[in-house]
Structure 1
Amino acid sequence: MKKFLCCLGSLLLVATLLSGCSTKEDAVKIGVSFGVGSASRWPLEQGYMEERAKELGDEIEVRLNTTDTPKTQQEDCFEMIDSGIDVLILTPRDVNNTEEILAYAKKKNVKVVNYARVVLGDNVDLFVGYDSGRIGQSMGQYLSEKVYEGDYIILRGDSGDYNATLLYEGAMRYIDSIRGSINIIMDEAVPGWSADTAKEMVKNAVAQNGNRVNAILAPNDKLAGACADALTELGITTPVVITGMDAELDAVKRIVDGKQDMTIYMDLKDLARKAVEEADKMGRNQKVDVNADFDNQGESTVASYLINGQVVTKQNIDKILIDKGYYTKEEVYGN
């Protein structure tokens, strides 16, 4: 009898140990929906997320939806939820129109990590993104200190993107302080973050101002590139200070060439990997990392994990981007 109980106890111990092992059945199933534009950051973040999920032993499906065709972002989300995912990582195309996606996720007991572009008004389980207000302040401070008089253009991102609002409000904290010495010839949102639209807006505003402009607040590198192209097409050769964000390679090259003054570098690899790590914890009912409470204009604040960015200029490109391995010298400066 004792021998039988001993064997039974051993078998139970082995079964317990085996049940704690990482198996395919134990993998957290993660769905990722990017409702985004054509910025080069998104395919990079897709790769970072897939890499981290593989390291964690999780299953992941990423849908990068840039045009809402042939399927809408909502259709993408519904299909992934119906496929049995445990957690949805969501970057919404329209931050004001996520109610049906979130309601369906809740109905199916799928937790939601809101990523990069904050959902407005509705409850999510966690927001992982950058501190847009502080980044906007960095851009506004840089611009106002470099150009404290003259003609300004202020470009906002898409009016439906709350991050664009936060960036704008942050920047204007500094630009408003010099309003008495500057002339703002345009202060407009850019529908859909469209570079083509931004270029035409800038060309028209500058032309109507006698081809004069001294500073342009561009909220990302795609729009900064559009601004630089607009000035080239207008034949403007005098220096114009242009901001940007995302540290895209083309923007860094423009900074080297003197066609853009600064950009903001955010460690997108860390951010993307962090989103997957927190989704993994949620899928296992573990405590997530929170360093802030974010006001998304809902009934209560949203638990958040936020990162800040670094200002990149011609003087610190090597230190911030090359020494850290983000780009090589050959990529930035050529052979």
Structure 2
Amino acid sequence: MTPVPMRRTGRLRLGVRVAVAALLIAAGVSTAGCGAQGGSGGEKIALLLPDAKTARYETFDRPLFEKRIRQLGDYQVLYSNADQDAATQQQQAESALAAGAKVLVLDAVDSKAAASIVSAAHAQDVPVIAYDRLIAGGGLAYYVSFDGEKVGELQGAALVQALAGKKLRAGDGILMVNGSPTDSNSSEFAAGAHRAIDASGLQVLAEYSTPDWSPDKAQDWVAGQIAQFGDRIVGVYAANDGVAGGAVAAFKAADVSPVPPVTGQDAELSALQRIVAGDQYMTVYKAIKPQANRAAEVAVALIHGEKVTAPTTTDGVPTTLLEPVAVTVHDIMRTVVADGFWTVKDICTPAYVTACDAAGIR
């Protein structure tokens, strides 16, 4: 049993709180989801997510978190999305604090810059749960995410498997399209992927950290590598489905057919459709419901001053790390469909019906 660290470090001055309150509307903080009877009178929990480019946040994380909060009692969720801007997220956090949030559940745009949000929360004795991305500087009450290095290992191993048995020429190799340099998970994904790729002897032709996880920037970079290396590119490690989509678009724009194996992460609907169509080799499925539920449950426990337990710790922070799963075309039915993450109808729209039938997705 690991107690959640709580400490008092002072309070925000009244003038600052008033000024921050004025930012509430401008910063885009919304109030959603009062739950059933039996809670603590509508106390507020802030959910601060980093961007809208990654489809999972608006499609799954937010609604699942809000649903679990409603089930737990009479609470309000103050929701904000920073649209990949660290300064905006800072304002949103300050606005949530000024609005009376008792807990911050924070998925940081910039893992280092977010340390100032943690400090501001501590000034009001408000605990912070790091959601999906660890925040530098310590002082966190809890951390819930997936094992980032395991994600990278699954991606790298899948890419190695996709290329196994193929006769590669001297000079052939892969591209590595990593995640945002401001996301603490990106280095973990890359480390895990390198472990699998380097051990295989595959050559890495070039490697790139994608600013803001931007599919457009990933596409531009991959297009430049295609111009330089041409058919020497035999595969692409892409850190998530967004940048994978950018990589695939670059190959299609260059009339490369078939597209070499491309990895991904998050099991986005568009990625699953690319996998069915043969344009993306795999993705990593992360069951977001347990992650959102755990964050919600810990948040409510912290409001009531309860101790929370965790399977492990990260830098002294109580931590839950969930297990990711690799998904190729052969795994879609037993993973994302079986879990109700997506339905066959979602995936097999008219443009993909033939490919779905051929893959046994029906």
Please, what TM-score do these two structures have when normalized by structure 1?
0.87
Runs of at least 4 residues of structure 1 off by over 6 A?
none
Deviations for 1:92-125, whole angstroms, at most 9, x for unmatched residues? 1110112321111111010110101111233211
Distance 1:45 1:156 in 2: 22
- Quick one: which of 114, 121, 126 aligns to 1:105? 121
Answer yes or no: is 1:257 the counterpart of 2:281. no
Tell me: CA distance 1:90–1:161, structure 2 relative to 1, closer, same or farther (3 Å): same
Q: Hey, what does 1:216 align to over in structure 2? A: 236
Q: Hey, what does 1:231 align to over in structure 2? A: 251
Distance 2:278 2:62 in 1: 31
3-state secondary structure, aligned to 1:210:
helix
| Alignment-mate amino acid for residue 304 of structure 2 | R
Q: Hey, what does 2:286 align to over in structure 1? A: 266
Distance 1:233 1:324 in 2: 35
**Contact 1:28 1:284 survives alignment (8 Å):** no
- Quick one: which of 126, 135, 146 aligns to 1:130? 146
Answer yes or no: is 1:317 the counterpart of 2:332. yes
Q: Which runs of 5+ in 2 are unaligned?
A: 1-35, 351-362
3-state secondary structure, aligned to 1:217:
strand
3-state secondary structure, aligned to 1:254:
helix
Distance 1:117 1:304 in 2: 11
- Quick one: which of 188, 198, 205 aligns to 1:176? 198
Distance 1:290 1:261 in 2: 35
Please, what TM-score do these two structures have when normalized by structure 2?
0.81
Please provide the CA RMSD for this pair.
Answer: 1.9
Distance 2:187 2:89 in 1: 22
State the identity %: 27
Deviations for 1:299-323, whole angstroms, at most 9, x for unmatched residues? xx32111101111111111111222
| Alignment-mate amino acid for residue 152 of structure 1 | I
| Alignment-mate amino acid for residue 191 of structure 2 | E
Corresponding pairs, count: 307
- Quick one: which of 196, 217, 225 aligns to 1:205? 225
Q: Hey, what does 1:160 align to over in structure 2? A: 182
Deviations for 1:198-240, whole angstroms, at most 9, x for unmatched residues? 1011111121113431110001000111111100011111341
Answer yes or no: is 1:40 the counterpart of 2:55. yes
Distance 2:123 2:163 in 1: 52
Larger CA Rg, structure 1 vs 2: 1
Q: Which runs of 5+ in 1 are unaligned?
A: 1-20, 296-300
Distance 2:124 2:180 in 1: 31
Q: Hey, what does 1:118 align to over in structure 2? A: 134
What are the within-5 Å matches in structure 2 for residues 277-292 of structure 1? Answer: 277-292=297-312
**Contact 2:39 2:72 survives alignment (8 Å):** no
Distance 2:39 2:194 in 1: 50
| Alignment-mate amino acid for residue 141 of structure 1 | A
What are the within-5 Å matches in structure 2 for residues 284-303 of structure 1? Answer: 284-295=304-315, 301-303=316-318
Tell me: CA distance 1:106–1:235, structure 2 relative to 1, closer, same or farther (3 Å): same
| Alignment-mate amino acid for residue 135 of structure 2 | V
